[in-house]
Amino acid sequence: MQEFTRFRNRVEAGRLLAKRLMAYQNHPNALVLALPRGGVPVGFEVAKALQLPLDVFLVRKLGVPGHEELAMGAIASNSEPIFQPNILRQLDLPISTIEQVVSRQQLELQRRENLFRADRPPLDLAGKDLIVVDDGLATGSTMLAALQAIRQQIPARIITAIPVASKDALKLISYLSDEVICLLSPEMFYSVGIWYEDFQQTEDREVIDLLQKAKQIHE
C-alpha cells in the first residue's frame, strides 16, 4: 500500500508525515509535541510544514537490564510508570531491579527536562489539538505512557503521528488517540531502526538546536 519500504532518515519521514497532516496547517489551536530524542527531528519537519509551534513531551522507556532495547514499560514526566505485564511475567524480575530501572529513568527525565525546557514555560495542554510525534513505535509502551500523561491535562484532541509502527503498537495506542496517522506498518516489524536507511542516534545538542530553530520560525 505504501510506495516506499524505508525512509532515508528522520527528516524525510517527517516531511512525508506532514503531507498526511495538512488539514492542521496554520490551525490556531494546534501544537506539535515531539518525544525526545528521536521524535524531535521528525516533529520539527511536521511543525515547519504545518506552520505550527513545536514543543517536547518527556518520556523514557524502561528497558530490561542487559537488554535495554526490550521495553518492560515507560515513564513520563510527573507521572507514574506504566508496565508491559506480559514482559514482566516472562522475565520474573525482582521488584528491587524494576525499582532501580524506574529510579534511573526518573533522574534522566529530570535531566532532560532541565536541559530541553530550560527557560521554556511549563506545558499547558488543556483544550489544545495536539499532534504527538515520534520516529517509530515497536512495543508502543513509550508512546502509551506519553498519551496517558497527556490525557490527564485534558486536551481537546490527540492526533498520534508516526512514520512507522508495529501493528500491536498501533492497537495499544489507538484507544488514547482521537486519530492515528501511520505511514508504514509492516507485517514483520523487527525494530524501528531497520525501516530507516540512516537511524543514527539523535543527540541532546540537536534537540536543543531544533527547538530553538522551530521557535524562531514560528515567531
| C-beta neighbour count of 172 within 10 angstroms | 19
Residues 9 and 78: their CA atoms lie apart, in Å, by: 31
Name every residue whose Cβ is closer than 8 Å to that of residue 148 and which is 6 or more positions away in sequence: 76, 79, 82, 176
| 201-to-9, 18, 94, 95, 164 alpha-carbon distances in Å | 11, 22, 31, 31, 17
pLDDT of residue 85: 79
Q: What is the DSSP string of 80-103?
A: --EE-HHHHHHH---HHHHHHHHH
Q: Which residue has cell 489544545?
A: 128
- The answer to which of 74-83, 174-183, 187-196 has the lowest mean pLDDT is 74-83
**pTM of the predicted protein model:** 0.86
pLDDT of residue 74: 81
Residues 27 and 164: their CA atoms lie apart, in Å, by: 25
Residues 42 and 27: their CA atoms lie apart, in Å, by: 19
Tell me the helix, strand and coil percentages in the chain, rounded to 5.
Answer: 40, 20, 35
Classify 10-58+116-218 by CATH class: alpha beta
pLDDT of residue 170: 96
- Specify the DSSP element, H or E, that contains 33: strand 30-34
pLDDT band at 1 (very low <50, low <70, confident <90, very high): very low
pLDDT of residue 88: 82
CA atoms within 13 A on the CB side of 217: 18
Q: Please provide the average confidence, as pLDDT, over all residues in the chain.
A: 90
Express each pLDDT in 108-162 by its tens digit.
888 888 888 777 777 889 999 999 999 999 988 889 888 988 998 899 999 999 9
Among 207, 183, 208, 214, smallest CA distance to 40 is for 207
Whether 3 has a pLDDT exceeding 60, the answer reads no
| C-beta neighbour count of 153 within 10 angstroms | 13
pLDDT of residue 4: 54
List the chain domain ranges: 10-58+116-218, 62-109
pLDDT of residue 121: 77
Classify residue 34 by burial, with Cβ atoms within 10 Å: 0-12, 13-18, 19+: buried
Pairing of strands 54-56, 157-164: unpaired
pLDDT of residue 2: 45
Mean pLDDT of 42-57: 96
Whether 62 has a pLDDT exceeding 90, the answer reads no
Pairing of strands 82-83, 67-76: antiparallel
pLDDT of residue 200: 94
